[in-house]
Amino acid sequence: MSQDILINWSPQETRVAVVEQGAVQEVHLERTLERGLVGNIYLGKVSRVLPGMQSAFIDIGLDRAAFLHVADLMPNIAAKHAGPREKAAAAPAPLPDAAGPPAGAAKVLTPNPVLPIERQIFEGQSLMVQVLKDPIGTKGARLTAQISIAGRLLVFLPQDNHIGVSQKIPPAQRESLRQRLMRLTALPDGSPSGGFILRTNAEDATDEELIEDTAYLRKTWLRIKEAATRQPPATLLHEDLNLMQRVLRDLVGAHTQSIRIDSREQHGLLGSFAAEFMPDTVAKLQHYSGERPIFDLFNIDEEIVRALSRRVDLKSGGYLVIDQTEALTTVDVNTGGFVGARNFDDTVFRTNLEAAQAIARQLRLRNLGGIVIVDFIDMARDDHRESVLAEFRKQLARDRVKTMTGGFSQLGLVEMTRKRTRESLAHMLSEPCPACSGRGVVKTARSLCYDILREILREARAFSPREFRVVASPKVIELFLDEERAHLAGLSDFIGKPISLQSESSMTQEQYDIVLL
């Protein structure tokens, strides 16, 4: 299926839309102030070593020095600066003699002692480090000297020779994948050059895709090492890829027809990146200079607005209701105004077929992950159920994010999972409503009136003020002045205290305050 990628760039935000067959399938965005530093590699300078904390402060050119713990140093750094005694202490423990431990004794594994940090690094030393955690408040960034570079399918460990496989891949497949990766990543003489970890989304990758990712990662590492030899300390050597670069790395394939970007400057920068690391994509890059905003070409902004709505209308007249909770996402299919051409069974079948296509698209567009429960309209015929399920799986197969789908349960529900890759579109673009705290409903004004009356009665039993004043939203105050006036007057007579009212337009409907005067 042909694919077009549109990139809308501005200094504060980058937005990417993936369009297939004229319909928006995915939307990605990245905001400049929210990128963070995690993954960035710096040539740092040790500014202070703290033996008591077994840590050091490293100057990487930020406002505050970053923090490095001894556990995050590489073993080769220790060997380089250790004396004979420390080298002996850090060496692997000798094997037990032939006699072995006493019969029946438990085997005790004692970790090798760690060299103290003051024996490994010194003030003024240049050290290549990577950010593990962004600065927060008054705390500086957390660093590691154990460098790792993430690719689309692999993670490269240039200072290690370990070949690993993601723990999320089933155990039965791990060893065969490890042997395959060892074969593909070995140098011509058969020796390893750096370590690799196969990521979860590489479970079904081809040899060509893995070799391409390996070449990209090794080329990136060579560029970082070369920069470290000519740059001064406290310099950024490698910045984690921005959204546009990740699009080239992760989304572009043989089916991609064009990559259009509306910034001439960013088009040039992206072209330089592509020419160095992904030359096959250069011919697909285009600078969009049209008068209309690039996202208007496919009404993408309107699609984003609809992606934040609970209801999704289908062309037939039916509709979906999508609810995202912390634990799972539910999708309810309804016929709506679709009455069908022949009979009720045909109406239900056609609505469910259209819904299967729309749900698969909405999962990608909204980037919904985790457990998804789909409540299709009940179908009496088994062949209809099988056809709907087959269409649903067919549409999900186009998703580059891994999905797993079960059959219809006894209750007529379809359970599936979709791998979480990033925050959903709704979580990135919106926040819980301050009026309802994300529940989607608020108490009625009358319910609030009765809550306030009970609260006043409770306060009157504990305190004896001169007067009670109710501060609440205009709608609640208006109800007290009209329909609930008799109840308010009756409570005032019962407690023997006057009750005054004050409208506060800045308060939401559920907010109120009772002031004791």
Q: Which tens digits make up the pLDDT trace of 319-343? A: 999 998 878 999 999 887 655 556 7
In this model, does residue 494 exceed pLDDT 90? yes
In a domain, residue 90? The reply is no
In a domain, residue 316? The reply is yes
Residue that is last in its domain, among 365, 395, 429: 429
Q: How far apart are CA 294 and CA 107, in angstroms?
A: 67
Residue 205: CB partners within 8 Å, gap ≥ 6?
Answer: 153
Q: Please give the pLDDT value at position 189.
A: 65
The predicted model gives 220-224 an average pLDDT of 93
Q: Do residues 164 and 267 both lie within one domain?
A: no
| Helix/strand/coil for 507 | coil
In a domain, residue 187? The reply is yes
Q: Do residues 275 and 178 both lie within one domain?
A: no
**R_g (Cα) of the chain, nearest Å:** 31
In a domain, residue 273? The reply is yes
Residue 370 gets the label, from left (phi > 0), alpha (psi -120 to 50) or beta, of left
Indicate the pTM of the whole model. 0.70
Q: Do residues 219 and 252 both lie within one domain?
A: no
Q: How far apart are CA 313 and CA 140, in angstroms?
A: 48
Residue 206: CB partners within 8 Å, gap ≥ 6?
Answer: none
Highest mean pLDDT among 164-173, 217-226, 439-448: 217-226
Q: Do residues 123 and 53 both lie within one domain?
A: yes
Q: Do residues 336 and 370 both lie within one domain?
A: yes
Q: Do residues 345 and 379 both lie within one domain?
A: yes
Q: Do residues 80 and 225 both lie within one domain?
A: yes
**How many Cα atoms within 13 Å fall on the side-chain side of residue 122?**
4
CATH of residue 140: 2.40.50.140
Q: Please give the pLDDT value at position 75.
A: 61
Residue 318: pLDDT band (50, 70, 90) is: confident
In a domain, residue 363? The reply is yes
Q: Do residues 169 and 211 both lie within one domain?
A: yes
CATH of residue 248: 3.30.420.60
Please tell me what DSSP assigns to residue 422.
S
Q: Do residues 336 and 423 both lie within one domain?
A: yes
Q: What is the number of domains present in the chain?
A: 4
Q: How far apart are CA 202 and CA 153, in angstroms?
A: 5
Residue 185: CB partners within 8 Å, gap ≥ 6?
Answer: 163, 192, 193, 194, 196, 210, 214
Residue 34: pLDDT band (50, 70, 90) is: confident
Residue type, 490: G
Q: How far apart are CA 29 and CA 423, in angstroms?
A: 11
Q: How far apart are CA 275 and CA 344, in angstroms?
A: 57
Q: Are the C-beta atoms of 327 and 301 separated by less than 8 Å?
A: no
Contacts by 263-268, CB closer than 8 A, 24 or more apart: 263/7, 263/9, 263/287, 264/289, 266/7, 266/9
Q: How far apart are CA 457 and CA 517, in angstroms?
A: 15
Q: Please give the pLDDT value at position 338.
A: 59
The predicted model gives 22-43 an average pLDDT of 89
Q: Which tens digits make up the pLDDT trace of 167-194? A: 878 888 888 999 999 888 887 765 557 8
In a domain, residue 10? The reply is yes
Q: What is the mean pLDDT of the chain?
A: 85
Q: Are the C-beta atoms of 37 and 131 separated by less than 8 Å?
A: yes
Residue that is last in its domain, among 379, 395, 429: 429
CATH of residue 328: 3.40.630
Q: Do residues 61 and 168 both lie within one domain?
A: yes
Q: Which tens digits make up the pLDDT trace of 456-490? A: 999 999 898 999 999 999 999 999 999 999 999 99
Q: Do residues 55 and 183 both lie within one domain?
A: yes
Pairing state between β 154-157 and 370-375: unpaired
State the residue range of the domain holding 258.
3-35+242-300
Pairing state between β 468-472 and 499-503: parallel
Handedness of CA 357, 363, 366, 372 (dihedral sign): positive
In a domain, residue 137? The reply is yes
Q: How far apart are CA 196 and CA 63, in angstroms?
A: 34
Q: Which tens digits make up the pLDDT trace of 47-72? A: 999 999 999 999 999 989 999 999 99
Q: Are the C-beta atoms of 206 and 182 separated by less than 8 Å?
A: no
Residue that is last in its domain, among 235, 265, 283: 235
Q: Do residues 348 and 422 both lie within one domain?
A: yes
In a domain, residue 440? The reply is no
